[in-house]
Amino acid sequence: MADVIVRRAEAGDTERLVAVWRAAVEATHHFLGPDDVEHYASRMATEFFPSVDMMVAESDGVVVGFSGTADGRLEMLFVDPVVHGEGIGSALLARAVDDAHVIDVDVNEQNPGAVAFYRRRGFSQIARSPVDADGRPFPVLHLRRSS
C-alpha cells in the first residue's frame, strides 16, 4: 500500500466521495436493493455530508475512503473496496478517535464485515434498533468504544 494521507474533505472531493460510497455499499451492503442504494445516494452530497466533519483518506493522490463525525459519533466510514484490507479504514477510524474523540458508532447488523471491523477495534454492542434512522427495515447495532 502506498502512503495514506488523511485530510479534511474539500468541496472538490464530493463527486469522488459519492463514488467511493456507492462502490463500498454495493460491495458490502448486500441487503440493500438498487432502489435503497439510490434512496441514500441521492442524499449523500446534500444532506449527509454537510451534517458531519468529513475526513478523506488519499493514496497516490486518489481519495480511497472517508469518514464523517459529529458530537463524538462516527456517522460514516466508507472505503473503496479496491483497497479493503489495506489499513485505510483503520487509519480513518484512528484519526476519528484521536481528533473527534469518537466513542460511538452505529453499524448495519446485516454488514458482518463492518461489525467485525469495529469489534476488533474495541467497540462493543450497547443496543440494537430493528430499523435504521429512516425507519427502514435494516437493523442497526449501536456500538461504543471502551476506554
Domain CATH for 129: 3.40.630.30
Mean pLDDT across the chain: 93
Give me the percent of the chain exceeding a pLDDT of 70: 98
Q: What is the pTM assigned to this prediction? A: 0.92
Helices (H), 4-109: 14-28, 34-43, 88-100
The answer to whether 21 and 78 are in contact (CB under 8 A) is yes
Window from 30-39, 47-56, 66-75, 137-146 with minimum mean pLDDT:
30-39
Q: Where are the beta strands (DSSP E) in the chain?
A: 4-8, 53-59, 62-70, 73-79, 104-108, 123-129, 140-145
Number of domains in the chain: 1
* Residue 2: predicted pLDDT: 61
- pLDDT mean over 5-19: 95
Reference 97, options 89, 86, 109; nearest CA is 89
Window from 16-25, 38-47, 61-70, 99-108 with minimum mean pLDDT:
38-47
Host domain of residue 21: 4-145
* Residue 147: predicted pLDDT: 66
Cell of 3: 502512503
